[in-house]
Amino acid sequence: MPQVYQFLVGKEAVAKRLDAYLAENMPSLSRSQVKKIIEGGFVTVNNCAPKVAQKLKENDTVQVSLPAPKPLETKPENIPLNVLHEDEDIIVINKPAGMVVHPAPGNYAGTLVNALLYHCPSLTGIGGVIRPGIVHRLDKGTSGTLVVAKNDLSHQTLSSQFKKHTIFRLYHCLVYGTMESDQGIVALPIGRDISHRKKMSVRTKKGRESVTNWKMLKGYRDFSWLEIKPETGRTHQIRVHLSGIGHPVVGDPVYGGVSRLANLKDKSLMESIKKLNRPILHASVLGFHHPRTKEYLEFTAPLPTEIQEILDIIQ
C-alpha cells in the first residue's frame, strides 16, 4: 500500500515552490527525491498534476502518494561474527567498525544482516524482510555491542524496551578539547539541520527530545576520553550532541571530527587518526531484560585494538 500524505498550504508558504515546500515538510526526502516523485506523478495540487517549480497559493491542497518500497533481496553471506552471547531468543554481537547494520542503497552486501542470515537462517521475516531481527543499530563507523532478536517474541519485547528507554547503554569516545567540568548532561533537541538536510543537528526547526550524560575519564592536552550514557536513542545522538557543545568525536567525518585534525601539532598522531578511518566511538556495554526469562543481562565489548593504540599514543 502506498503512503499518503496531505498538506494544506498556509499563509507562510504562499508563492513558495512546490519542490521546496515538500522538501521542508517531508524531511525524510532530499530535494532531488522530491523532484523525482513530482515528475513521477506521485504528487497532486488540488487534484491536478503540478510542475516541480509550481508556486503555491494559500489553501492549496498538496497530496503525496509514495509508492510502497520494494523489499531488498538480502542474501546470506558467510561473514565471521564476534558473538558475545547466543540462545534460542537473541544473539548479541560485537560489531566491528566499518560494517553497515542492514542493507540500503550503496550497501546491499557485506552488512550485519547478510552475516546474520547465514548464521541464523530462521531470522527471515522477523521484523521485516529488509531488517530481519534488527531492533536497534550502530552507525557504520561505530563498533561494539548490539542485540538481535531471533523470533517475534524477542523482537516485540526488545523493541518495547528500546522505545521505553529502559535499555542500559554505555559508550566510550575520544573528543577534541578539554571538557569544562568532570561530568555533565547535554539536553538539546535533535532534528534535521536547518541548512544541511542530510545531517542531524541541534540547529533544527523540529527537534526531538534528546538527552546524553557524559563523564570525563581522562583529559589530555588536545583531547578528552569520555564515558557516555545516552538516555534517548536519536539518530547520531552522541556524535551530534558532542559536536553541538564544541567537542566533536575524533575521526567523525560528518560532525567535525575530521576537519579539526589539521590543527593538531603532533603530525604523527594526525596521520594515525587519519589511517584509523572511523570515529573513535565504541558501544562498550549493553544491558537489557531477556525477552523470555526477564532476567537482566549485561554484555561488554572490549575496546578495539585500533582505538587502544591511539590512546596509547596520546598518553
Active site residues: 139
Residue 24 vs residues 15, 42, 216: alpha-carbon distances, Å? 14, 17, 38
Question: Do the beta carbons of residue 300 and residue 285 sit within 8 Å?
Answer: yes
**Angle at 121 (CA atoms; ends 95, 127), nearest 5 degrees:** 70
Rounded Cα–Cα distance for residues 315 and 311 (Å):
6
Residue 63 vs residues 48, 197, 232: alpha-carbon distances, Å? 10, 22, 33
Give bridge partners of residue 168 from the DSSP assignment. Answer: 287
Residue 141 vs residues 67, 138, 188: alpha-carbon distances, Å? 31, 8, 23
Rounded Cα–Cα distance for residues 122 and 2 (Å):
29
Question: Do the beta carbons of residue 26 and residue 1 sit within 8 Å?
Answer: no
Rounded Cα–Cα distance for residues 232 and 208 (Å):
10
Query: What phi and psi, each to the nearest 5 degrees, are found at residue 190?
Result: -120, 135
Residue 243 vs residues 25, 55, 125, 134, 305: alpha-carbon distances, Å? 26, 37, 38, 27, 25
Amino acid at residue number 210: S
